[in-house]
C-alpha cells in the first residue's frame, strides 16, 4: 500500500493522501458499505473528497432502484455533480482534485466513468476479481486508451479483509432480486 505518513506527491506525480486521511475517509466508506449490506445490496461504499470535504458519497443501490448502473461510484459522481452546481464550481476543476475512497475495486464501468471525470486518485479496499477495472480484470485506470479521459492512480488494499468479509456475508444470504434459476428438473414420465 502506498499511503504516505505525510502528504507527499504520490508515485507518478499524482495526488497523495496521508494515513490519517485514508483512515478517516475509508471508515466512512465502510459505513456506507454496511448500510448497503443492511439494505440487501452488494456492500460497496465510497466517498469523493475534494479539499478535505465530502462532495459525493454513495453505496450500491442496484437492487433498490432495479437499475444496474447505480453502483456506489455512480451515485457519488451524481452527488458530486450536484454539489458543483449548488456551489458554483466547475466540475472539471473539482473532479481533477478529488480523491475517491471505495471499499471494493471499481468495476470496469465505474473505472471508465472515473477516468472520464478525470479523478486523479482512487484508494480502494479489496480487489474485484470478477469485474475489476483497476487491474484485476482490465486496467482501465492506466491503460493507453486514446480519447477516453485521463489515467488515474490507484492505491489498493486498504482494509481489504473487512471489505471481503462484508462481500462474503452478502453472498451467503439470498438476494431477493436475483433472477430465478433456469435449471429445469426432469419430470418422470409415467407410461
What amino acid positions are annotated as catalytic residues?
73
Q: How far is CA 120 from CA 25, 115, 153, in A?
A: 16, 8, 6
Q: What is the DSSP letter of 12?
A: G
Element (H, E) at 32: helix 19-38
Residues 6+ apart with CB under 8 A from 16: 4, 7, 8, 9, 10, 121
Amino acid at each position: 500500500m502506498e499511503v504516505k505518513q505525510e502528504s507527499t506527491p504520490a508515485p507518478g506525480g499524482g495526488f497523495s493522501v496521508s494515513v490519517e486521511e485514508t483512515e478517516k475517509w475509508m471508515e466512512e466508506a465502510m459505513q456506507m458499505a454496511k448500510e448497503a449490506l443492511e439494505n440487501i445490496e452488494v456492500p460497496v461504499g465510497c466517498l469523493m473528497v475534494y479539499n478535505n470535504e465530502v462532495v459525493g458519497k454513495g453505496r450500491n443501490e442496484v437492487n433498490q432502484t432495479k437499475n444496474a448502473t447505480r453502483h456506489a461510484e455512480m451515485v457519488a459522481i451524481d452527488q458530486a455533480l450536484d454539489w458543483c452546481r449548488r456551489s458554483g464550481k466547475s466540475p472539471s476543476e473539482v473532479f481533477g482534485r478529488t480523491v475517491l475512497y471505495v471499499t471494493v475495486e471499481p468495476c470496469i464501468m465505474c473505472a471508465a466513468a472515473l477516468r472520464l471525470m478525470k479523478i486523479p486518485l482512487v484508494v480502494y479496499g479489496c480487489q474485484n476479481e470478477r469485474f475489476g477495472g483497476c487491474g484485476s480484470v482490465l486496467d482501465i485506470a492506466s491503460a493507453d486508451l486514446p480519447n477516453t479521459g485521463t489515467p488515474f492512480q490507484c492505491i489498493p488494499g486498504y482494509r481489504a479483509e473487512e471489505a471481503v468479509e462484508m462481500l462474503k456475508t452478502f453472498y451467503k444470504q439470498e438476494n431477493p432480486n436475483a433472477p430465478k434459476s433456469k435449471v429445469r428438473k426432469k419430470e418422470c414420465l409415467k407410461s
